[in-house]
Structure 1
Amino acid sequence: MADIATRVYNHHWKIDPIVRSLIDTDFYKLLMCQSVFRNRPDTDVTFSLINRTRAIRLADLIDEGELREQLDHIRSLRLSRGESTWLRGNMFYGQRQMFRPDFVEWFENLQLPPYHLEKRDGQYELTFEGKWPEVMLWEIPALSVLMELRGRAVLQHMGKFELQVLYARAMTKLWEKIERLRPLENLRLADFGTRRRHSFLWQDWCVQAMIEGLGDKFAGTSNCLIAMRREVEAIGTNAHELPMIHAALADSDEELAQAPYEVLADWQEEHSGNLRIILPDTYGAEGFLKNAPDWLAGWTGIRIDSGDPAEGAEMAIRWWQERGEDPREKLVIFSDSLDAEKIVELHRQFAGRVKVSFGWGTLLTNDFRGLTPDDALAPFSLVCKAVSANGRPTVKLSDNPNKAIGPAAEVERYKRVFGVGEQVAREVVV
């Protein structure tokens, strides 16, 4: 096991690039990329960094030269033979050859496209433009770089012993969470913390702690590189990106209203079983479920990623019952702003009523709250989203208006088309 404190103290070592592989990314990105590669390979998109926590002035903390060095290093990465073999031959969700030979061959020859970086008002404006299958693979590594460079900026003035104590306290904090979760019967929990992790080494340590501390209750990790190295399941399905871009390409309000369902029809052609998970909140979960075609009720489950998680699960249970499905045979995945207390609460509330699973993100892999002066390592909300497709702006409404993305006029249009009324704003923690 790596001595993280020592490696952080010597973080300039070339042995510790922030992103060390093209599969140091989330599994859902590769699944979606294969779908896009098949269905929409020539779509032109722009992705952009969005710092929702404006009080953290990243451009004042992070050296631009160091940021460019890390981004340039990512562009130099290529898929290794071992990584290619893992993608081609490993079993994912009980299925071999999840990734088609033509997609893996394309991935083996991929170089991520150029980036555009500017400073503006204490923030970095980081954008990526090009064909959708290529540009989309920038999202996770870009976020990982910014998050870890921010952490390095805070830690760079600490001495060796101070760093040892800091990481000892963080390890203790995580282990206490694991001990609190361990007694829960039939718990299923996965690591979803790649995007806003403290560092790669820390995420890897967290996964190892979960493997030992939770045993079979730990379902796996979204991080493909760690899943390969630690021989655990790679976990993930799809994300808001798919309906956002498909919706932007719609030519009328009628096509816009159907876009989220057409995305899932494409997905159903490619995947079965536990990969058929609905993410309903891109344009409001209530309206999505109300207008959903009947065939979607037969899918395996639903992921709750915004709004009040208990209300979202209750809504899903009612929807399944109305469609003649037994909720006890369905899966609800909670994945928004989770920590141990909320996991315990939701598990107790819904266990036995539905199959419950948790995708634990930032507060698993980046919870250093209260461990540094001025809470300088507290996690913050940083995202990298598709902002345009073929020159048209994208929109995300969410079940939390504080997560909405897009030009104001388009946001209002989408609210009208999808029948989204008054929403309750919730603080965006991470």
Structure 2
Amino acid sequence: MIDIATRVWNHKWKIDPIVRSLIDTDFYKLLMCQSVFRNRPDTQVTFSLINRSTHVPLAHLIDEGELREQLDHIRTLSLTRGESTWMRGNTFYGKRQMFTPAFMDWFEQLRLPPYHLERVGDQYELTFEGAWPEVMLWEIPALAVIMELRSRAVLRDMGRFELQVLYARAMTRVWEKVERLRPLEGLRLADFGTRRRHSFLWQDWCVQALREGLGANFTGTSNCLIAKNRDLEAIGTNAHELPMVYAALAEGDAALAAAPYEVLADWHEEHEGNLRIILPDTYGTEGFLAHAPDWLAGWTGIRIDSGDPATGAETAIRWWRDRGEDPREKLVIFSDGLDVDVIETLHRQFADRVRVSFGWGTMLTNDFRGLVEDDRLAPFSLVCKAVSANGRATVKLSDNPNKAMGPEAEIARYKRVFGVGGQVPVEVVV
């Protein structure tokens, strides 16, 4: 097992690469990339870094030159022979050759496109522009670099023993969470913590702790590199990015209203079983389900990623029943702002009514709250989103108005088209 504190202490080289592999990313990015490569390869998009936690002054904490070095290094990466073999030959979700030869031929030649970085006040403006299949693969490594450089900045002046004690306390915290989760009968839990992790080494340690502590109740990790290295299941389906871009490309209100279902129709052609998971909240869960075509009720499950999670689960159960489906045979995946208290509560509330699973993210792989003076290592909300497609602004409404994004006029239009009324704000912590 790697001595993380010693590695942190030794971060004195000119560049110690944070991202060392193109598959140090979430599995759903690769699945979505293949879908985009097949269906919308020529769409031009812009992704942008968005720091929702503006009290964290990233441009004061992170040296611009160091940030550029890390981003430039990512642009030198290409798929290794072992990584290609894993993707071409491994079984994912019970399916061999999940990734087509055409997609793999393209991916093996890929180098990530250029970026634009500019300091604006105490924040960084970081954007990526180009063909959708290429640009979308910047999202996760860009977040990983920013998050870990912030961690390094906070830890830089700590002594070796101080670092040992810090990580001992953080490890104890993770293990105490594991011990609380053990008694939950039938628990299904996966690591979803790549996007806002403390560091790659820390995420890898957390995954190993869950594997040992939870045994078969730990179902895998969203991180492809860790899944490959640790012989674990790679977990993930699709995300808000797809309906956001499809909607931006829609001509007129009728096409806009149909866009989220067009996304899933394309997905339906490519995937089956546990990969058929609906993410309904991009433009409001209630409206999405009310107008959903009947064939979607036959999908395996629903992922709940915003708003009150219990309300979302109840909405899903009611929808399945109204469509003649047995909720006990359906899967509900909770993935928003989870920590042990919430996991315990939701599991006990729904485990005998649906098949429940949890995608545990930031509070697994970046919970250093209260462990450093002034709480300078506390997790914060950083995202990298598609903000335009073919020159048109994207919009996300969510079930939580605090997560809405896009120009005000377009947000108003989308609310009208999708019939989104009053919403209850929920604090966005991570």
- TM superposition score normalised by structure 2: 0.99
**Could you say which residue in structure 2 is the equivalent of 1:25?**
25
Q: State the shift of 1:16 in Å.
A: 4.1
Shift of 1:12: 3.1
Aligned equivalents of 2:212 and 2:248: distance in 1? 44
Is residue 232 of structure 1 aligned with residue 232 of structure 2?
yes
Structure 1 unaligned regions, length at least 5: none
Residue number in structure 2 paired with 1:51: 51
Cα distance in 2 for residues equivalent to 1:358 and 1:294 = 26
Query: Residue 110 of structure 1 aligns to which amino acid in structure 2?
Result: L
Question: CA–CA distance in 2 between the matches of 1:313 and 1:16?
Answer: 43
Moved more, 10-19 or 26-35: 10-19
Aligned residue number for residue 389 of structure 1: 389
Tell me, in whole angstroms, the C-alpha distance in 1 between the residues paired with 2:234 and 2:277: 15
User: Following the alignment from structure 1 to structure 2, what is the Cα–Cα distance between the partners of residues 3 and 55?
Assistant: 32
Q: CA deviation at 1:15?
A: 8.4
Q: Which amino acid aligns with 1:41?
A: P
Classify the secondary structure of the residue corresponding to 2:409. helix
2:277 alignment partner AA: I
Deviation at 1:11, TM superposition (A): 1.4
Partner of 1:114: 114
**What aligned pairs does 1:28-427 form with structure 2 within 5 A after superposition?**
28-427=28-427
| Structure-2 separation of matches of 1:127 and 1:419 | 32
For residue 121 of structure 1, report the CA deviation from its aligned partner.
Answer: 1.5
Q: Structure 2 CA distance, aligned partners of 1:40 and 1:351?
A: 38
Instruction: Encode CA deviations 1:101-151: one digit per residue, 9 max, x unaligned.
Output: 110111110000000000002000000000000000000000000000000
Matched position secondary structure for 1:281:
coil
Matched to 1:358, the amino acid is F
SS at 1:41's partner residue? Answer: coil
Q: Secondary structure at the match of 2:282?
A: helix
Identity, % of aligned positions = 81
What is the rounded CA distance, in whole Å, between the counterparts of 2:16 and 2:184 in structure 1? 36
Runs of 4+ in 1 over 2 A off after TM superposition: 12-16
Partners of 1:106 and 1:367 in 2: how far apart? Answer: 37
Name the aligned partner's letter for residue 384 of structure 2: C
**Hey, what's the Cα distance between the residues in 1 that align with 2:73 and 2:4?**
22
TM-score, normalising length: structure 1? 0.99
Aligned-partner SS, 1:253: helix
Give the unaligned 5+ runs of structure 2.
none
Deviation at 1:13, TM superposition (A): 3.8
Q: Secondary structure at the match of 1:25?
A: coil
C-alpha RMSD of matched pairs (Å): 0.7
Matched residue type, 2:31: L
Q: Do the aligned residues in 1 keep the contact of 2:15 with 2:70 (CA within 8 Å)?
A: no
